[in-house]
Amino acid sequence: MKNVQLTGILGKEQLHFRDNQELEKYYEEKYSHGGYEGGGCILYGVNISKLYHQARHRSALGFLDPRPGDIVLDAGCGDGSLSAQIAPRCKAAHAIDIAGNALDPALRGVGNLHFRKMNVEALDYADGFFDRIVCVETLEHLIEPKKAIAEFHRALKPGGCLVITYPTVNQTLMQRIQRKLGLGRRLEISEHLTEWTYGDVVKNVQAGGFAFVAAEGLAFDFGVFGWIKYKSRFFARTLTKLALAIRAFPRNSAFVSVCFRRIP
């Protein structure tokens, strides 16, 4: 792995990992420096990254819809903020991350929240153990994301629910059109090891033995017209809220949330 500063994921040198041991070392060091707290895009005091993060969690939780008798997995849980929302609504919430120090220490006392250090590509759970699995902004950080999809299929009960959110930031319809016209620029995100389109997400998960249920976009891409949000606090907040409100166009959204069912 190349030597990089652990100060965020935007505009840094692209990371390359030889194996999951390097990946684990990187993320454990990252979380020892505060993880993603305080990072991301902030314009005129508006934390745009935080608004996107909250929208992803709301969408994922809505699609997941955990029930009191369910056993749920949060695969790639990070600090556990989504796991903490899932736990009160189900029988047991299992949270895993390749970084053993990722979970917020304040959440370790939550009764039915069980955290384990684990690679998402190799789940240490029995076949059909879970009723529902959620994977938020994780597949793009994996060396072999298709292995994780295969593991989700194995560990889910037949008919079980899988919810995935994925950043399609450089692969929206608007971005592809702009590239053909020579407009705009790529957003370099150093930690993203894959860049799938919305169609890639659906195709790759379906190929892993899942049926598509529903999807929504989480941040509509206005393309070069989005420059206006850099002009003032008003535009930064207003345009971001508008982008988050337009959900019907996942092919042109910088983040997507997709729900699947495991085919029996």
Higher pLDDT, 116 or 109: 116
Mean pLDDT of 147-152: 98
Half-sphere exposure of 23 (CA within 13 A, CB side): 22
Mean pLDDT of 68-89: 97
Supply the pLDDT for residue 39.
67
Tokens 């994996």 found at: 142
Does residue 179 surpass a pLDDT of 50? yes
Q: Which domains does the chain have, with CATH numbers?
A: 20-262 (3.40.50.150)
Does residue 227 surpass a pLDDT of 90? no
Q: How many other β-carbons are positioned within 10 Å of the β-carbon of residue 40?
A: 16
pLDDT, tens only, 13-55: 789 999 999 999 999 999 999 988 766 788 888 888 889 999 9
Supply the pLDDT for residue 7.
42
Mean pLDDT of 88-115: 95
Supply the pLDDT for residue 207.
98
pLDDT, tens only, 238-258: 999 999 999 999 999 999 999
Q: In sequence order, which residues have a C-beta less than 8 Å from that of residue 149 and are 6 or more positions away?
A: 139, 204, 205, 208, 210
Supply the pLDDT for residue 40.
73
Mean pLDDT of 152-163: 98
Smallest CA-to-CA distance from 152 within 227, 74, 91 is with 74
Q: What is the rounded radius of gyration, in angstroms, for the C-alpha atoms of the chain?
A: 18
Q: pLDDT-based confidence at 3, cuts 50/70/90?
A: very low
Supply the pLDDT for residue 6.
38
Q: pLDDT-based confidence at 107, cuts 50/70/90?
A: very high
Q: pLDDT-based confidence at 188, cuts 50/70/90?
A: confident
